[in-house]
Amino acid sequence: MRDLVIVGAGGFARETAAAAGPAWRVRGFVDDDPALLGTTRAGLPILGPVADVAGMDAAVVVCVGNPRNYAARRQIVERLGLPARRWATVVHPSVSIGAGSRVGPGSVLLAGTVLTADVTVGWHVAVMPQVVLTHDDRVGDYATIASGVRLGGGVVVDDGAYVGAGALVREGVKLGAGSLVGLGSVVLRDVPPEETWAGNPARRLRS
Ligand SMILES: CC(C)(COP(=O)(O)OP(=O)(O)OC[C@H]1O[C@@H](n2cnc3c(N)ncnc32)[C@H](O)[C@@H]1OP(=O)(O)O)[C@@H](O)C(=O)NCCC(=O)NCCS
């Protein structure tokens, strides 16, 4: 069992604490909100500001970001600049990881998620509950896959993209870097980088 400190104290951070399982002893959260110091979240202490993790003898996972600011995780990871061995990979015990699949350091897979076969998940990726990633999918670094998303085979989710809850993505489609797919969307065509698409069939909302 290794010690784990979670960066952030919001919803995703508390979900990650709950997902950590027997491999980790969760010491608490670090957060830059001064109002949180000395308080607890989900029964765990706020240990100090984010920069303090550098000096802690524990593995670290960054659990921030939401649809309005989904680049926040990358910004904090880059600011911390920790060596690769410090990043924890947190996988809920119920997650199914099929043959040939890989999950990178700093990534979190919440309960009930399935990676069928030969799926690649990059670094610092957030995968919410009940996501299905099928054969040959590639999820880039810092991407976020919200709950209930299902990707057909060979889908590419490029770095930093956000896939909203319950979205369905047709096989072989590419979601460009930094793009956002709205919740409940059915994506049938490639989404260019940095664009927001939504609906059934998904269409461009804005760049
Ligand atoms: C796509 C999204 C980012 C747009 O948010 P927004 O910029 O605030 O846009 P608005 O709510 O003002 O909607 C703009 C238009 O797009 C439509 N729209 C928004 N989201 C949509 C969606 N998911 N599917 C279909 N249409 C959608 C709205 O109906 C509206 O249409 P109108 O102009 O004809 O009235 C947001 O709705 C979304 O889906 N975010 C992801 C949320 C999520 O997955 N959360 C789970 C984790 S917490």
57 pLDDT higher than 90: yes
Q: Is 116 in the pocket of ligand 1 (CB under 6 A)?
A: no
Q: Which atom of ligand 1 is nearest to the CA of 166?
A: 44
**Residue 64 confidence (pLDDT) above 90:** yes
Predicted pLDDT at 113: 98
- Cβ of 46 less than 6 Å from ligand 1: no
- Under DSSP, the state recorded for 176 is P
Distance CA 36, CA 44 (A): 12
Q: Which pLDDT belongs to residue 20?
A: 96
CB distance 106 to 90 below 8 Å: no
| pLDDT at 1 exceeding the cut of 90 | no
Taking residues 121-130, report their average pLDDT: 98
CB atoms within 10 A of CB 184: 15
Can you give the pTM of this predicted structure? Answer: 0.97
Strand, helix or coil for residue 134: coil
Q: Which residues pair with 138 in a beta bridge?
A: 120, 156
Smallest CA separation from ligand 1 atom 13, residue: 205
CA torsion sign, 79 to 89 to 65 to 6?
Answer: negative
Q: Inform me whether the pLDDT recorded for 127 exceeds 90.
A: yes
Longest dimension (CA), the chain: 48
> CA 171, CA 79: separation in Å to the nearest integer?
35
19-23, 25-29, 105-109, 158-162: least confident range: 19-23
- Mean pLDDT throughout 40-45? 96
pLDDT of amino acid 28: 98
Please give the pLDDT value at position 21: 85
CB of 184 closer than 6 angstroms to any ligand 1 atom = yes
Average pLDDT on 96-110 reads 98
Reply yes or no on whether the pLDDT at 65 is more than 90: no
